[in-house]
Amino acid sequence: MAGSTLTIQMVQPRMMSLKQAADYVGLPQKRFPIACPVSPVAMPGDRRLYDVRDLDAWVDAMKAGAKDSDDAILDKLG
C-alpha cells in the first residue's frame, strides 16, 4: 500500500471584515464597533477592512493596562 501525505496550509489574512475582526478579538459583531477604537482601512471597491496588526496592538495595550476597559471606566464613575 502506497503512503500519502496531506499538507494543509492555513493563511491568516492581514485585513479582516467587521465580522472577522470581531471574531478575532472575541467580541460580538454588534458590540465591536462601539468597543474597539481601531478604525477600518478604506480599501478598493469601497470595502472597509480592519488591519490585524492594529487589532493586535489594541489588545496588547489593554493587556498592558494602557487603556481602561469599559468595565473599569464604569467602575470609576460609580
φ, ψ of residue 50 in degrees (nearest 5)? -95, 135
Q: pLDDT tens digit string along 33-59?
A: 999 999 999 999 999 999 999 999 999
CA distance 31 to 22: 8
Alpha carbon 46 to chain centroid, angstroms:
20
Long-range contacts, 61-67 (Cβ 8 Å, 24+): 67/37
Alpha carbon 74 to chain centroid, angstroms:
23
Task: Determine the pLDDT at residue 72.
Answer: 63
CA distance 58 to 26: 13
Domains along the sequence of the chain with CATH: 15-77 (1.10.1660)
Task: Determine the pLDDT at residue 3.
Answer: 82
pLDDT category, 2, cuts 50, 70, 90? confident
> Model-level pTM?
0.71
